[in-house]
Amino acid sequence: QVHLVESGGGLVQPGGSLTLSCAASNVYVGINSMGWYLQAPGKQRELVATMTSGGMTNYADSVRGRFTISRDNAKNTVTLQMNNLKPEDTAVYYCNARIVIIRVNDYWGQGTQVTVSS
């Protein structure tokens, strides 16, 4: 079973920056996609950014230009550089790994809290 661990969340002022990191372990096949999703209180989990093993990225419109996703396929890690943070970015951020063999298999980290507040 793939295990994901996130780190890097915290409390920052508006306009500040954070870097989230995620490491996958117990991985014996290629991870098709890794990325980040957020979940605010009372809301559905939603895409922040993802990257395929081939380097194709997908960003939510709300973060494009502010956040940058990167991935090290060999190390099975993914990071999210978050700049110019806004209060509306406040949420729990979850690392995701998607492995497609016969079917889609999604694995999730435990989540890391990001709070943007004055």
**Segment 18-71, tens digit of pLDDT:** 999 999 999 999 999 999 999 998 999 999 999 999 999 999 999 999 999 999
**Which tens digits make up the pLDDT trace of 80-95?**
999 999 999 999 999 9
Q: Whole-angstrom Cα distance, residue 49 to residue 96? A: 10
Q: For residues 25 and 75, give the distance between their C-alpha atoms in angstroms, rounded to a whole number.
A: 9
Is residue 106 scored above 90 in pLDDT? yes
Q: What is the pLDDT of residue 98?
A: 98
Q: What is the structure's pLDDT at 41?
A: 87
**Percentage of the chain with pLDDT > 90?**
98
- Alpha carbon distance 63, 49 (integer Å): 8
Tokens of 118: 């004055």
